[in-house]
DNA sequence: TAAAAAAGAATGAACGTTCATAAATTAGAT
DNA sequence: ATCTAATTTATGAACGTTCATTCTTTTTTA
């Protein structure tokens, strides 16, 4: 079935084109016409794979979020201590954001756009379940403060997005030293 | 000169209309036609006050950022200790964001839009100079970690935006207890 | 009555989406 | 294998809107 493969390739090309375009002009800057041109298909062809622009963006969101989570938990090992597990996840996330600039920036943009509905966003969050479970465990063990997961996320994960943003604008270097300081700040903010 | 006052009122109405519209539909959702309608003027009239939509949004950005900074430093007193000063600023900011939901959400959106250029953004940042000065002083006194202001901001200020976002979506309450925990996390992340 | 301010209608461009057709592929019959 | 008919897949043009902005005319002010 070479035909099936061609379809998959086209779908992938469309997602990739969207990712690229959103990256240099925002979601509104990624018009269906431009997406089609970059993916080398007709605008009409997009609608053979996606119901609408919103569907296209949502599917891309879930795809990218999934790959982000996969990277975050790539070497996840339930045998290890809470501290080690959190540190691994944190640096995996940082590494992903550093090596997948477009994907990271896209996910950031998705946090604010009305293009992605609450349901899809919820679906995306579920990829991070192991992290939330870890926080629960860490609280039980009195390693983490007894605060809501929203606070945990806001202070230990979310700041990475800001730093990435600054780095991409050429305002703040993210070398190894800065990364270590950043992790320390994240850890200090949630550790008991 | 009642005429001058009328002009000022019209300008204010246009800024206010933009703020409202951006709040329920993003910057792209705030079309010049809608802004004009809400401000009860003709679309053409907008261009008597602003060169373009980008100019309108930029001026609104600077206006709001300025009022945010004014609130943040309202009871600022150089005689007080670094700790007290930081705490005051932090809670002032939190209070502003809680009582000026539209303004806070608008500023959040401005962080990511390409509509506001780097120069304007820089201009907006300068309103926060007293905070940056405080950080320098705090570092000299070994109260704060010796890390870049970007890290300081990312971990002690930026998380508020996330929590506001969650609160506005009805996902995370921001009561007094949560606020105190949040400040503690901010403080722990940057204190030496 | 002259000048300034504001209006509404109009402009061309761009948007997401659809439609009627054309190309490509498949399936069946020879 | 080869031809043909049916079916899928893809297309470019076109649709109706909406956009930011401008032009000409009308209203208001001095």
A76 CA: distance to closest CA in chain B (Å): 25
Give the Cα separation of B141 and A167 in Å (integer).
28
Q: Are residues A99 and A172 in the same domain?
A: yes
Question: Which chain B residues contact residue A158 at CB under 8 A?
Answer: 158-159, 162
The whole-number pLDDT of residue B112 equals 87
Q: Are residues B46 and B60 in the same domain?
A: no
Q: Is B54's CB less than 7 Å from nucleic acid strand D?
A: yes
pLDDT at residue B130 above 90?
yes
Q: Which two tokens stand for residue A90?
A: 């944190």
Question: Which chain A residues contact residue B151 at CB under 8 A?
Answer: 163, 178, 181-182, 185
A106 CA: distance to closest CA in chain B (Å): 11
Q: Are residues A1 and A44 in the same domain?
A: yes
Q: Say yes or no for a CB contact (<8 Å) between B172 and A148.
A: yes
Q: Are residues B121 and B46 in the same domain?
A: no
Q: Which two tokens stand for residue A73?
A: 């938990």
Q: Is B3's CB less than 7 Å from nucleic acid strand D?
A: yes
Residues of chain A with pLDDT under 50: none
Q: What is the pLDDT of residues B39-85, one digit of tens each?
A: 999 999 999 999 999 999 999 999 999 999 999 999 999 999 999 99
Sign, CA torsion B106/B179/A185/A157: negative
Give the Cα separation of A91 and A179 in Å (integer).
9
Please say whether the beta carbons of B27 and B113 come within 8 A. yes
Rg of chain A in Å (alpha carbons): 19
The whole-number pLDDT of residue A2 equals 66
Q: Are residues A44 and A67 in the same domain?
A: no
The whole-number pLDDT of residue A1 equals 55
Q: Are residues B21 and B89 in the same domain?
A: no
Q: Which residues of B lie inside 8 Å of A (Cβ-Cβ)?
A: 25-26, 28-29, 108-109, 111-114, 118, 145, 147-148, 150-151, 153-155, 158-160, 162-163, 165-166, 169, 171-172, 178, 181-182, 184-186, 188-191
Q: Is A44's CB less than 7 Å from nucleic acid strand D?
A: yes
Place of tokens 């990829």: A127
The whole-number pLDDT of residue A117 equals 95
The whole-number pLDDT of residue B85 equals 98
The whole-number pLDDT of residue B8 equals 85
pLDDT at residue B129 above 60?
yes
Q: Of the candidates A96, A101, A115, which has an alpha carbon nearest to the alpha carbon of residue A169?
A: A101
Q: Is B31's CB less than 7 Å from nucleic acid strand D?
A: yes
Q: Is B26's CB less than 7 Å from nucleic acid strand D?
A: no
Q: Are residues B15 and B84 in the same domain?
A: no
Q: Are residues A181 and A111 in the same domain?
A: yes
The whole-number pLDDT of residue B1 equals 58
pLDDT band at B33 (very low <50, low <70, confident <90, very high): very high
Please report, for the domain that includes residue A148, its CATH number.
Answer: 1.10.357.10
Number of Cβ within a 10 Å radius of residue B22: 23
B189 CA: distance to closest CA in chain A (Å): 4
Q: What is the largest CA-CA distance in chain A?
A: 57
The whole-number pLDDT of residue A4 equals 73
Give the Cα separation of A85 and B104 in Å (integer).
35
Sign, CA torsion A161/A54/A50/B171: positive
Can you give the distance from the CA of residue A106 to the C1' of nucleotide C23 in angstroms?
A: 36
Can you give the distance from the CA of residue B36 to the C1' of nucleotide C9 in angstroms?
A: 15
Q: Are residues A59 and A33 in the same domain?
A: no
The pLDDT mean for chain B works out to 96
Q: Are residues A1 and A38 in the same domain?
A: yes
Q: Which residues of A lie inside 8 Å of B (Cβ-Cβ)?
A: 25-26, 28-29, 108-109, 111-114, 118, 145, 147-148, 150-151, 153-155, 158-160, 162-163, 165-166, 169, 171-172, 178, 181-182, 184-186, 188-191
Q: Which of A11, A35, A50 is the last residue of a domain?
A: A50
Q: Which of A50, A72, A89 is the last residue of a domain?
A: A50
| Residue B122, φ and ψ in degrees, nearest 5 | -60, -45
Q: Are residues B97 and B146 in the same domain?
A: yes
Give the Cα separation of B112 and B119 in Å (integer).
14
Domain count, chain B: 2
Q: Are residues A170 and A183 in the same domain?
A: yes
Please report, for the domain that includes residue A22, its CATH number.
Answer: 1.10.10
> Can you give the pTM of this predicted structure?
0.94
Give the Cα separation of A101 and B124 in Å (integer).
26
Q: Is B8's CB less than 7 Å from nucleic acid strand C?
A: no
Q: Which domain holds residue B24?
A: 1-50
């Amino acid at each position: 079935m070479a035909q099936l493969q061609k379809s998959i390739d086209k779908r992938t090309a469309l997602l990739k084109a969207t990712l690229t375009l959103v990256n240099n002009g925002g979601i509104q800057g990624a018009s269906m016409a431009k997406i089609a041109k970059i993916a080398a298909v007709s605008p009409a062809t997009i609608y053979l794979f996606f119901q609408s622009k919103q569907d296209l963006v949502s599917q891309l969101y879930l795809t990218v979020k999934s790959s982000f989570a996969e990277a975050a938990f790539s070497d996840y090992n339930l045998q290890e201590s809470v501290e080690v597990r959190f540190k691994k996840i944190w640096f995996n996330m940082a590494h992903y954001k550093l090596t997948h600039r477009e994907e990271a920036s896209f996910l950031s943009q998705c946090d604010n756009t009305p293009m992605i509905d609450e349901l899809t966003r919820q679906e995306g969050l579920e990829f991070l379940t192991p992290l939330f479970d870890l926080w629960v465990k860490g609280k039980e063990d009195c390693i983490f403060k007894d605060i809501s997961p929203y606070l945990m996320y806001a202070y230990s994960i979310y700041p990475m997005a800001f730093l990435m943003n600054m780095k991409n604008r050429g305002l703040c270097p993210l070398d190894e030293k800065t990364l270590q300081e950043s992790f320390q700040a994240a850890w200090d903010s949630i550790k008991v």
